[in-house]
Amino acid sequence: MKRHGQLMAAIAEPANLRLAFWNAAKSNRAKADRRVFQENRDENLTCLRAELLSGTVAVGDYHTFTIYDPKERTICAASFRERVLHHALMNVCEPILERAAIFDSYACRKGKGQQAAVQRAVSYARKNGWFLKMDIRKYFDSIDHAVLQQLLKRKVKDPALLEVFDRILATYETAPGRGLPIGNLTSQHFANHYLAPLDRFIKETLGCRCYVRYMDDFVVWGESAAALREVWRRVETFLAEELKLELKPNVMLSRTGRGMAFLGYRVFPDRLRLGRRSKRRFQRKFRAYEREWVAGAWTALHLQQRMTALIAFTLPSQSRGFRHTIMQRFGAEANGR
């Protein structure tokens, strides 16, 4: 197992910090915060570089708010300056964490993503008669800082970088020594890496060939319900003993032909459909977008951009009739426009 050292110098390189700035600037969040930073960009990046090299970089400047889509979650949005820092860290560290990932881990990875995970699930459903679907109870809130620190130390031996990681972890707790703030780039990568040992356990120790994970949602396929029950038991034990996590009680063990709810879709061996929650979400957002346009709050271009993204999620599934119905009932003509 190779450990990587002398990473802080690469993170603090002016070229990496400029790249981190542009990556952070792509987001639409905190436009005013971004403009203030950009007005003195070179000076701010020089200051950030000096703080990284001296070990005095500030962390924990979060704006906290709650969203309800699709469920209630508390979001900790870092300031623009701190998002630049997170991008600078991950520009260098993401390839290192990537080497610990298996092929069928799909969250927070270039060339992967939600759609690839769903298509892989369909392919495995075609080959197997049974599936076992699991996810973690209060995942981000339950991540143990000490366990994560040890996992990071297995990949990184630069003490200055590990110190920054420790300080970032210390900015947020849901219980003593537990929890990652949802909404931060570092949290996404830390959370995905945290379950890399589970991936290896399922694939290598248990020998499960058909397996997909997207963050804390994961599925194992097989031909025997009894064999998958044993996988369930051993995964539950591994999570508790090695990662200090618990499965949600809604574990599902069923035949693939009955369909499986996964990442907003319903996966069958021969087709993909929209899940019930995704249908409700599509209708709610479609109507809200139309209202914004009819009220004059959005331009036609802005409406088109938002609708394109909304419709794109439905396209891989058999949902043409559903989309047509919603558009007929709630489109601009129905609103008198």
Question: Is pLDDT at 151 greater than 50 in this prediction?
Answer: yes
pLDDT at 165: 97
Question: Is pLDDT at 333 greater than 50 in this prediction?
Answer: no
The tokens of 60 are what? 């924990």
Confidence band, pLDDT 50/70/90 cuts, at residue 1: low
Q: pLDDT per residue over 256-313, tens digit each?
A: 999 999 999 999 999 999 999 999 999 999 999 999 999 899 999 999 999 999 999 9
299, 257 in Cβ contact below 8 A?
no
Confidence band, pLDDT 50/70/90 cuts, at residue 72: confident
Regarding pTM above 0.95, the answer is no
- What's the rounded Cα separation, in Å, for the pair 197 and 243? 9
231, 220 in Cβ contact below 8 A?
yes
Residues 6+ apart with CB under 8 A from 300: 293
Q: pLDDT per residue over 157-207, tens digit each?
A: 999 999 999 999 999 999 999 999 999 999 999 999 999 999 999 999 999
CB atoms within 10 A of CB 21: 23
Mean pLDDT of the chain: 93
